[in-house]
Each structure stands twice: as C-alpha cells, then as structure tokens.
Amino acid sequence: MFSLKNKTAIITGAGSGIGRAIAEVFGKQGAAVHVLDVDEKGGAETINEIKAQGGSAAFWPCNVAAQSEVKKVVEQIIDERQYIDILVNNAGIAHIGQADTTSEAEFDRIVSVNIKGVYNCLHEVIPYMKQKGGVILNMASVAALVGIPDRFVYSAAKGAVAAMTLSVAKDYLKNNIRCNSISPARVHTPFVDGYLSKTYPGRETEMYENLSKTQPIGRMAKPVEIAWLALYLCSEEASFITGCDYPIDGGFVRLNT
C-alpha cells in the first residue's frame, strides 16, 4: 500500500523540516523525488539521504517566488521524466507580527513566497498534469483556521493557500487532478529551534515546553508525522479525496478551550 513507484514528485522547500521529511518518505516509497529549494546545502543533504536509502532524487536550486525560475526547472524535469505525477507546494516562510507592526516589505516578502510561490508552481505544473491527471498537495496551516496571535500576514497567506486548494480542486476535476491541503499546528523543525534561540536565549527549553503545551496532545508534531499524511493523500489509496483540508494538529483546532 501507499506505493509511489514510477511516480515523479516535485516537492518545494524540501531542504529541511516538513519538506525534507516528505521528500524522504516519498523516496522510500519509490517516487523519483525532485527537490526545489533556495537552500542548496539543505537540498543536497535531502537528496543525499534519499539516495543513501536507495531512492531516486534530484535537487534544483529554485526560488519559487520567481515564475521564470520555476518554469525553467519544470521544463528540465519534464525533459528528463516526461511527466509530473505529484506536486507538493511546501515552500513557505514564517513571520511574526500584527497588522500595524508588519511592514510593507515584510508583507510583500511573505506573499511572494507563500502565495505567489504556490501560484507559480501551479501555473507551470498543471498544464503537464492535464495530460493524464495527477495529485497536488498544498501546505496550509491551522493559522488559516483559528486566530493565532502575532501571525497576521502568515495567517492571511495560509488562508489564501486553503482557498487556492479549493479552486484548483474544482477547476481540474475533469482533468483527473486531485488537490488537497494539510494544515499542521506546531511542528518541531529547525525554524522552531532557531526562533527560540533568537527570541528566548537561555530559556529555550522552558519556552519549547510552553509552545508544546498549546497543543492539547501535549507536544509538537514530528515532521515525519506530517509526511505520512502527505504520503496517503498523494497515493492511489486516496483516489476519492479532493478539495479537502486536513488539520494535523494534536487537537489544536477542535479541542482548545
């Protein structure tokens, strides 16, 4: 079950964190994994790990906010693989701030990656997927579902991703393209560790525990736990699922009071 053998998968932002976990799981399940990331060191580490496990992987330096870069990479992948079966729009950047404390430059930076980056990948990949179908998975967030303090533009961007998911799912039903999204709560990634060390030096352990307890389940998710859900939604076992968002949040959305 959940085999991705002979599938070509593009995963953006797979140089670390959730994206890397998805890439590694997909590689183990037989997909030819194509990692797109601005982080060349992280991207190389991801594909080296996949290859060490016997999988097939390639890294493409790419800024998803630049449509010309996405177009060039997608065309190269098509030349090599002839088809793209799976697109995982995972690349994204975080931001902390409220409406009146978020600068225009910060707003534009988040929108360019978290919204326009998803659009760019959809714009370039869908024409090829329309040939025989495929699966698109977008990374949304619980920030699009509930009010989270100090996440104004990040929440707005993830809300846009959730809306794009529904639009794409509706528009391409006739082309046998499925599109879903995942909305994680807090996940223990390098970003979390960096944020804690920068914002709470000397109190990292204490603040990590505090953030973990905001999930009713009592801990943050592991990146691989998000990857397992991604694997299911991109596999043939999920062939009847489209236009859905899946909170994977330790009870954050429904059980917080």
Assess whether 246 carries a catalytic annotation. no
Strand-pairing partners, residue 177, are 134
Catalytic residue, from 83, 119, 128, 154: name it: 154
Quickly count: other Cβ atoms within 10 Å of residue 142's Cβ: 22
Of residues 2, 1, 12, 78, the one with CA closest to residue 46: 12
Rg of the chain (C-alpha set): 18
Q: Is the dihedral of CA 157, 161, 166, 171 positive or negative?
A: positive
- Give helix 104-114 / helix 116-129 axis angle, nearest 10°: 20
- Least Cα distance to 67 among 126, 136, 120, 130 occurs for 120
C-beta of residue 246 within 8 angstroms of C-beta of residue 181: yes
- Give the DSSP H/E element, type plus range, for residue 35: strand 32-37
CB atoms under 10 Å from CB of 22, counted, come to 31
Whether 4 and 26 have beta carbons less than 8 Å apart is answered as yes
Both tokens of 177, joined, read: 């393209």
**E strand intervals along 13-149:** 32-37, 56-61, 86-89, 134-139
Question: Any idea which residues carry the catalytic annotation?
Answer: 154
